[in-house]
Structures are given as C-alpha cells and as structure tokens.
Structure 1
C-alpha cells in the first residue's frame, strides 16, 4: 500500500474539496488537510530541513526533508505524493505593528516556500503557477498563442480609447479580477455587462478597465481540464443574459464533447502556465465556434459535475492518487 500522503490546502468550509477528500478516503489514500493562512503557526507545526548532498541525513533525490504536523496527523515532507492547492485563506495582512508585519512575511515565505518546493510532488496546481495565470492579460495572450479564438479586447484607462472601441462594435465591460465586493454591506458580484460609447466618461481614467467585443453567442461552455482530461458542458441562460453567473437559478446544462482542435489548445494553454487544472469559459456562436473568454486556474466545478453528470471528482482523485506530474 502506498503510504505517501496527499496535502490538501483549503479553508475549513470547502464543499468542493470535501468531495475529493471523501473519494480519496474511500481509496484509503492518506490525507493531511489544513489551511495555511489560518492554521499556521498554530496548530500546524513545520520542521523542514535541507542537507548538503552526500551527508548521512540526505534522502534519495535530495530536497526538503522533515515533518509537517496538523493536529494528530504528520506528513513526511520528502514523501508527499501531491498537494491540492484548493482555496486556502490568504496569509494574514502584512500591516500593523512592525513585529506582526515581520512575522506575517516570514510565515508566508517560510511555510509557503516549503510547500512550493516539495521534492517529487505533484501540484494541483502549484500556487505560484495559479497566481501567474490569474492575470487576464496573460491569459488572453496565451490563448492567442495556442490557437484559441479570442474576442477583440482593450485594456485602458483612456476614456477616448474606450469610447472609440465601444463605437466600433457591441462591447461588454468586465472586471479584471473577481474580488470581494459589497453593496450596502451585502456581498455582490460585478458581472460582465454591455456598455455603449455614450456611457463612457472620465471615470475610466481612474483605473484599468477591460472592454471586449461582445460575442453573438447562443450558449456558453465551461470546460474543466484535469491533467489530460477535458469535461465540458453547455450552459444555457435565458435570452438577454450576458453573464450566466448572474442568474444561476435559470440555467440549464448539457454535456458536450470538446472539439479536438480546442482540446489540443487547452492542453497547450495549461502547459504554458504549468497548470494541471483549469476551468475555461467559452461563448459559443450559431456556427459552432468556441470563443475563449477566460480561464480560472482554480475555478469551481462541483455544481457542474452534478448538473451535467461529469465525473470530475474521480478525475481529480485519480491525479492526486497517482502523483504523476506531466510537467516533470
């Protein structure tokens, strides 16, 4: 029996991670779950060391050795088969009193640095790769390089440029980052929405804005890629809905095969960012063309698995259990 553990880094309440953990438990795969941003330096305890090559302490393959303990469970850092970087809490804000700032910086770089440098470990996906892939300009550039069809896009803080772009074609505005936002103290989302040239004013100069040609879509697709497997489904919203995330209750779903050409482009996209997972969103036009909109390198998928009957939990568990890293 393979006793190498899988580390799961996520928040205490993460129903999506729970599905994967339950499947790994069913397979008797050892798991150590913790939230680096909240559980360190207590109750998580780290004792990591690295030795010069050739010393009696050096294990085969070298690299970091030692222990990571969370509660009653301990993982050998030199024998971690996979790390599932799901949705951990951010490390504490590096602000306030000087000593607290220093400690926060050391915790993030110490624990986070060791977790990102485990020898022979499969990352789903590596935290630094996820962070790099979250930038929409990088995504759009990579999408064009790998052969995906991308709508005309403008990122600007120039009201004149924005007005001209919106006058050239039907246009939508979308945020560059889907961060936390509240209206009247209540959580709210900033969805993609149509914008016309006459609506553009000097407020655009206050920051970067992303404007994109509106695709005349008949449906959306979310394609979830796990290692080399692609699971995709049509997402059908009521007429007139631009951003399906704004109206979950009215959506219907239908599994769909990913076109072979698109499948190859998705693999190249993930390889470009050194990712083992990606949740891709496409707009589909009446002629069957798939237009790339974005990729969430750590996107949600559990609701889609249930709605469209896609075995994503099993695929993620397979990858974590195998520990085989295709980017080696």
Structure 2
C-alpha cells in the first residue's frame, strides 16, 4: 500500500453485505476501523473528504457486469486511485421473517445486481412476486426483517445477522459467480509491481477522429500490453458520447505499460489513470497473458540511443 497504510475503511453497508465480507479478507481492515456507507458515492466522498483512508466498493460481477455507479464515481470528481482488488464468490439465499413460507411471498427486496443474478430462479419459483430494488443486499434483509417486504434476496450472513429464516438457498442462477471489488484511496504513488498486476484506465476518445478506438487498442497491442477488459459508459453529455474503461496486464512502472500510457495520452481526448495494483484471481481464473518483458524495451531504447549517437556498428 503506498504511503501510510490505511486504518480507516469505509464499505457499502450496512453490516452483512458482500462488501463487508470482501473487506474482511484484508488483514489491515480486520484490525482497523470499518465504517458502513449508504451508497457507493457516499463511500468515495468519505475518502475524498478525509473521513476514511480507503473505500472498498463493487466494480463488476461475472454475471451482472459493470457496477455503473462505481464507474461513474471514479471518473467524476477529484481523482481516486485503486490500490488493490478483491474477488469474492457470491452466494444468495431467499429469506423471510420466521413463520413465512415460500407460498406467502408476494414482494421481495433485492439489490439490482442480486435480482439479475437470481432472475431465473425467481421467475421459476415466484413468477408473480414483485421485485423491489434496494441499495444493498443487507438493506434487503433489513427491509424484510422490518416487515416492509415478504422476503429478501441476500447473503447467508445477512439472513443470520437480521434474524431471518432461509426459505431457499443457492438461488443464484450461476453458482460460480464472483464479484470484483476495488480498494480505493486518495492519490499516491502506486504499490510496487508484483509481476502479476493490473493497470486500470478511463479513456475519452476523440469522437470526431476516424478509427479513434482502434488507435487506443493499437497503442496497447504494438507494445505487447494485453487488454483484459474494455467497457463503455455514457459520459452524460449526449447520446453516443462514451468513456471507455480499460484493464491491462502489467504495471505503470514497467516500460511497456508506461509507453502505452504516453501513447494513449497523445491519441485520446483525455485519459484518467485509475491505478496499478496486484491482480486478485478468482477460484476458476486461468493464468493471464504475460506482459511484455521490460528488458526487451530497455534493449530497444539502448539500440535507438546508439543510432541517434551515430554508433551503427
């Protein structure tokens, strides 16, 4: 962790969320202060304002895709830096107050990502139930416990924490689903390279330039920098205007990645560096493509320097 290690952590609360479970995989967070936030924007603003040292927020899910509110917050407002990622297997249950049975369920509280991951099961077993969006999986459990809804889609720990009875377990359509979380801090030098790192960027292409997106991809490809993720997100300016989120293999300290970032700076309307940090691999991840070797780039730099000096032998 760059600079002073964080001791105050904020996460998407309340207690019992997957965000809290993911945060507790970090030893520093176990011994540190953990503060729940009501939303991703609130969590990140606490970091920007100095109330917390770091925030753990959901970035993407292997089934539901990007968490749009997190992406939007990372490119709007003062810059923040991703310093670590956590990949957490997610499991959902349908839970209700004691005495509730499955046939009694007419309304279900669920976070939109949870509803997406369980939509097949819900359509099959509770086709007439109304699904109501809430801010988090723990909020769903709280609402069900308060009697606002008949049941909640939530984490098993959330059901236990709020005194709910599990009406059905393993309700996710894809049992191997995982969620990727980002630990976000105020700007500082990135963590040291580990040899298995991710560099995340947000790039704004020049929309009036033919082949603008191809130019972005070429800056990476010609330097052997592997692109592992690319997603578009609306800028909010007007239809057809997007910011592209990129994840690349490697670290900004490596010559190949550094050169690629310089190239992107030249061909893009704007580039926001979101961080270089150790890769966290899920239980079913395959080994990634190795980044271009640094010695190859150092050798080519030395070769070019000799040419410029007139040393052609």
Higher relative CO (Cα under 8 Å, sequence separation at least 6) belongs to 2
TM-score by length of 1: 0.25
